[in-house]
Amino acid sequence: MKRSLLFLAIASLTTCAVFAKDDANHEVIEKVMKEGMKGDGSPHAKLIAGTASAEEVKSLTDLIHTMTGTKSPVGDQGDYEKKVAALVAGIDAIHGGNKSPEAIAAYKEAANCKGCHNAHKPK
């Protein structure tokens, strides 16, 4: 009886920890999308248009970096990590001072919403 209760307690704690981690991943990704990427007035849109201030670029850089180490909501984790790494590299280049058309194009390609959403956003 004691073993059954111990097993049940451990299983319950493990389940709670898994759901808490999934919730944390969701919150991080959602925050990046809402605060950094979504809408015509977002730091992302301003960066693409060439009107983002240095503060907005830094804010977007900080937001994007929070996605490092998150778990793919759905789909292949390795593919997700590559997409996040490309996004981080793209924003880091711009934040580091590279405002060339090539740097903007590389960031824009890495920030392709549909490319990531099709593979990793839950339906």
**For the chain, which residues make up each domain, given as ranges?**
26-120
pLDDT of 123: 86
pTM of the model: 0.80
Give the distance, in angstroms, between the CA of residue 69 and the centroid of all CA atoms in the same chain: 9
pLDDT of 39: 94
* Predicted confidence (pLDDT) at residue 34 exceeds the cutoff of 80: yes
pLDDT one-digit tens code per residue, 44-96: 999 999 999 999 999 999 999 999 999 999 999 999 999 999 999 999 999 99
Burial of 91 (0-12, 13-18, 19+ CB in 10 A): buried
Proportion of the chain above pLDDT 70, given as a percent: 82
